Structure 1
Amino acid sequence: MKICFLMYPWERVSPETDTTLRMIHEAASRGHTVAITTPNSLTIRDSVAHAFCNVLRKTDKLTSNIPAFYRRAEFKRCKLPLAGFDAIIMRANPPLDTVALNFLDSVRNDTFIMNDIDGLRIANNKLYPASFSGDASRFIPATHVSKNREYLEHVLRDSPSGKMIMKPLNGFGGQGVIVIEKSARQNFRSLLDFYIGSGDQGNYVILQEYVSGAEKGDVRILMLNGEPIGAMRRVPSGDDVRSNIHAGGKEVKHQLSKEEKELCRAIGPQLVRDGLYFAGLDVINGKLIEVNVLSPGGITRINRLNRVKLQVPVIDFVENVVSAKERVIERKSTFRKVIEDAEAI
């Protein structure tokens, strides 16, 4: 199998903790051809989408030590047609590069892309949880989004809780997430001026119901093909409300509760329908706060906490999808040959 990882630059990989590196190592250990590229390396030649790729050189024996694998990795630089890959695994960091998705549009019928292009377009923002309906809607906290200062002040004033969570719509990694106390409303307009900005456009701001227990951290659940495959609890450090690892939080072992399993069963089918086969759910006290679909992380930490290798089922899934597509093509070719032979009689 030939796999292309569309990701951040290789030199920015953190070998001790990087989730993408675990996937690359697993694919390489199975003998697959592995190429890595970045959104800035996409190009078109003669109306065909290509990428300037670093193709991992194969070795007789691959070390099981992943940081050592990272340090020893050797690549060959090539310009390759994207349609020649069996699978393209999207692992670029936020924010979403919509131009990169436009390049991939032309090859979506030729190669399996994880996650799906349209799924990324609709889900790579903090509004996506609001699209869940039916039984899934009971797991979504009340959320308000606007750039209208007066409206947001009204929302805070009328909130049944003494505090709310405020964050920018286009933030990631815990950036800009703060707790707003109703008792400190005199500072709220100034904060809105900062978050929304000046000018005719401005930035959207999210005001969200404060979920009790948020001060104790959140749970990151990794979903594969609509099913949970691993989880960890992320605990804030000191007085910081944010539990994101990049914001100073730490991870601890976690077993999914009955309510969290129900949440996964309710959310999973829509993730699959939207082509979001590998996603990270951020959950607080049984409420879905965010869905991470572009480059969800956590594999390394969950592996360490539970002595598992979650990259194994991820690459298993990619192999199974590609194999199923190949069987369909082979079956179609066989039936066409039968028809051609019948016409020749």
Structure 2
Amino acid sequence: MKIAFIINDHKTEKPNYTTPGLGYAAYKRDHDVYFIGVGELSYASKGHLSVRCKTIKDINFNSQETYFRAVQKQDFTKVSSEDLDVLLLRNNPADEINKRDWAQNAAYIFGEIAMRNGVIVLNHPTSLASAINKMYFQHFPEIIRPKTIISRDHNEIKEFFKKQKQKMILKPLQGSGGTNVFMMDKKNEHNLSQTIDAICRDGFVIAQEYLEEATNGDTRLFLMNGRPLEFDGKFAMMQRINSSGDIRSNIHAGGKPSSVKMTDQIMKLADIVKPKLVQDGMFLVGIDIVGDKLMEINVFSPGGLNITGQMYDVDFCTPVIQSIEKKVYYKNMYGNYLFNSRLATL
């Protein structure tokens, strides 16, 4: 099959990231693999997606790092949605905030064009466009979410602070990777108004219940087709432990990964989020869990799959590509009878 990955930028994509790992897994299975930066997207006069991309063929590599470094050195070539079977949207819109605002929605807009041209687009672009900020998280059952309000009203946020016994988390509605996340308590209450103001500059404020279990970090679990990603008897999941004095567990924010065992509680949470993810065509996502609560759902470019693979000595990227191969098979059998949103999680 011919499979393309949209990334933020060729210059910022690191060889050890999850997306190069997925690309390398596809390459090893003799598929044609293309990497497309958001800035390389275009719409052709014939009504299809036309892109500049980087690809490589007919060379053996011993690791995803050597593979992707070789890809990055290649000159740009052209490919059209008429040539593609699958397009994976793996760019992170949060990385573009206040840098390239035009790039935040571009992949999903162009992804819909590719979808109309018969390309399988993962995750489903229409659903991704509606999940551009953390409000998407609020559509999941309340029983699995921490108590939360979303507001720009200082008084409302301060009242929530009192109800939470003067301990809560503040973060922006848009963003990821632990950027601008603050823990407010009695010690720094004098900075509450200033912190709210700082977050309000970029939009709405999420005020969230503080969970004591968060001191131990969180658990990142990958879901594929709505179910926990499992291969060779092991689950693609890890415990992310906070750096000393930091409430954020994100790896990019200094969190340290460690192995963790699947529990009935985590399986129950995964089962509760499954119907919504399947309905929305969310093929590959990462959910972050603290205690018995779901803290966040990353539907854009969940990272760390490569780290979990190294931790358990399991190749989690290959079953992802195998699942995509099945979708191409179903697409060839059924043609346009299956909607992209349904095909995405088959």
**Common fold: TM-score over 0.5:** yes
Give the secondary structure class of the aligned counterpart of 1:84.
coil
Q: CA deviation at 1:317?
A: 1.1
Give the secondary structure class of the aligned counterpart of 2:134.
coil
Instruction: Give the counterpart letter for 2:84 in structure 1.
Output: F
Q: CA deviation at 1:291?
A: 0.5
Distance in 2, Cα, partners of 1:64 & 1:79: 27
2:49–2:113 Cα contact (<8 Å) kept: no
Q: CA deviation at 1:71?
A: 2.8
> Which structure 2 residues correspond to residues 46-125 of structure 1 after superposition, within 5 A?
46-59=45-58, 61-73=59-71, 75=74, 77-95=76-94, 97-109=104-116, 110-125=118-133
Distance in 1, Cα, partners of 2:279 & 2:297: 15
Identity of aligned residues (%): 29
Q: Which runs of 4+ in 1 moved over 4 A?
A: none
Give the secondary structure class of the aligned counterpart of 1:279.
strand
Question: In the alignment, which residue of structure 2 is the partner of 1:217?
Answer: 217
Distance in 2, Cα, partners of 1:105 & 1:126: 22
Q: Could you report, residue by residue, the CA deviation over 1:287-334 in whole angstroms, capped at 9, with x for unpaired residues?
A: 1111101111111110011111110111011111111010113999xx
2:41–2:49 Cα contact (<8 Å) kept: yes
In structure 1, which of residues 161, 172, 175 is the aligned counterpart of residue 176 of structure 2?
Answer: 172
Question: In the alignment, which residue of structure 2 is the partner of 1:335?
Answer: none
Q: CA deviation at 1:167?
A: 0.5
Q: CA deviation at 1:24?
A: 0.6
Instruction: Give the counterpart letter for 1:254 in structure 2.
Output: V
Question: In the alignment, which residue of structure 2 is the partner of 1:341?
Answer: none
In structure 2, which of residues 167, 174, 182 is the aligned counterpart of residue 163 of structure 1?
Answer: 167
Q: Tell me which moved more, 72-81 or 38-47.
A: 72-81
Q: CA RMSD in A?
A: 2.0
Answer yes or no: is 1:188 the counterpart of 2:197.
no
Distance in 2, Cα, partners of 1:193 & 1:32: 50
1:35–1:53 Cα contact (<8 Å) kept: no
> Which structure 2 residues correspond to residues 1-345 of structure 1 after superposition, within 5 A?
1-15=1-15, 17-59=16-58, 61-73=59-71, 75=74, 77-95=76-94, 97-109=104-116, 110-133=118-141, 137-159=142-164, 161-182=165-186, 184-197=188-201, 203-229=203-229, 230-329=236-335
Q: Tell me which moved more, 174-183 or 285-294.
A: 174-183
Residues 29 and 157 (structure 1 numbering): CA distance in 2 closer, same or farther, change over 3 Å? same
1:281–1:288 Cα contact (<8 Å) kept: yes
Distance in 2, Cα, partners of 1:304 & 1:79: 34
Q: CA deviation at 1:237?
A: 1.1
Distance in 2, Cα, partners of 1:70 & 1:81: 22
1:33–1:55 Cα contact (<8 Å) kept: no
Instruction: Give the counterpart letter for 1:119 in structure 2.
Output: S
Q: CA deviation at 1:139?
A: 1.1
Give the secondary structure class of the aligned counterpart of 1:266.
helix
Q: CA deviation at 1:20?
A: 0.4
Report how many aligned residue pairs link the two structures. Answer: 322
Structure 1: gaps (5+ residues): 333-345
Instruction: Give the counterpart letter for 1:122 in structure 2.
Output: S
Structure 2: gaps (5+ residues): 95-102, 230-235, 339-346
Residues 196 and 298 (structure 1 numbering): CA distance in 2 closer, same or farther, change over 3 Å? same
1:48–1:81 Cα contact (<8 Å) kept: no
Q: CA deviation at 1:47?
A: 4.3
Residues 171 and 329 (structure 1 numbering): CA distance in 2 closer, same or farther, change over 3 Å? closer
